[in-house]
């Protein structure tokens, strides 16, 4: 099955895992790594590597990070470079994690979808799950409805 690791600043990764647990019912297979204030950044890479190895069930691992090119992302790259070559080819890092992306990964985990096929679906889900609402959109909608009723 697909392995899932979330590495973030602060405890954001724990919060995402908790939300997945609330929505889906269980999330013990998701590994989290937190970069807390005052923790040495280089130790983060060791933790990421340990969690990748723990999450890897043979079908690959996706490492989600909160920001592209920030410490969790960069340390994930370093951690992956220290793994065996064969294992490296089945690991992806996705920066800019949001909850819908992780839920999409969990769904693909349960469907046993090939890791190389899941990446585009996960990133599309992340993009598609961003929405904007503003009061004016409702007001404009009512005005448009009124205009359509005129004969």
Tens digits of residue pLDDT in 34-76? 999 999 999 999 999 999 999 999 999 999 999 999 999 999 9
Q: pTM, whole model, 2 decimals?
A: 0.89
Q: Does 141 score more than 80 pLDDT?
A: no
Using the structure block, give the residue that is written with the tokens 């899941």: 118
| Per-residue pLDDT, 144 | 58
Does residue 101 contact residue 73 with C-beta atoms inside 8 Å? no
Instruction: Quickly name the fold that domain 3-149 has.
Output: Rossmann fold (3.40.50)
Cβ-proximal residues to 39 (8 Å cutoff; 6+ apart), any chain: none
Cβ-proximal residues to 1 (8 Å cutoff; 6+ apart), any chain: 29, 57, 59, 109, 112
Cα Dmax for the chain:
72
User: Cα–Cα distances in Å, from 143 out to 1, 117, 133?
Assistant: 51, 44, 17
Rounded distance between C-alpha atoms, residue 78 and residue 97, angstroms = 19
Whether the CA torsion 21, 100, 3, 112 is positive or negative: it is: positive
Does residue 52 contact residue 81 with C-beta atoms inside 8 Å? no
Q: Identify the three-state secondary structure at position 123.
A: helix
């Amino acid at each position: 099955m697909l392995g899932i690791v979330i590495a973030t600043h602060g405890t954001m990764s724990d919060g995402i895992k908790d939300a997945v647990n609330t929505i889906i019912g269980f999330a013990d297979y998701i590994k989290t790594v937190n970069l807390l204030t005052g923790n040495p950044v280089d130790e983060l890479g060791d933790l990421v590597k340990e969690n990748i190895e723990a999450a890897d069930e043979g079908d690959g691992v996706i490492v989600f990070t909160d920001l592209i090119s920030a410490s969790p992302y960069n340390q994930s790259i370093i951690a992956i470079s220290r793994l065996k070559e064969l294992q490296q080819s089945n690991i992806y890092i996705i920066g800019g994690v949001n909850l819908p992306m992780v839920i999409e990964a969990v769904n693909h985990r349960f469907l046993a979808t090939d890791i190389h096929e899941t990446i585009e679906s996960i990133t599309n889900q992340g993009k598609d799950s961003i929405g904007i609402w503003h009061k004016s959109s409702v007001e404009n909608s009512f005005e448009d409805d009124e205009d359509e009723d005129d004969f």
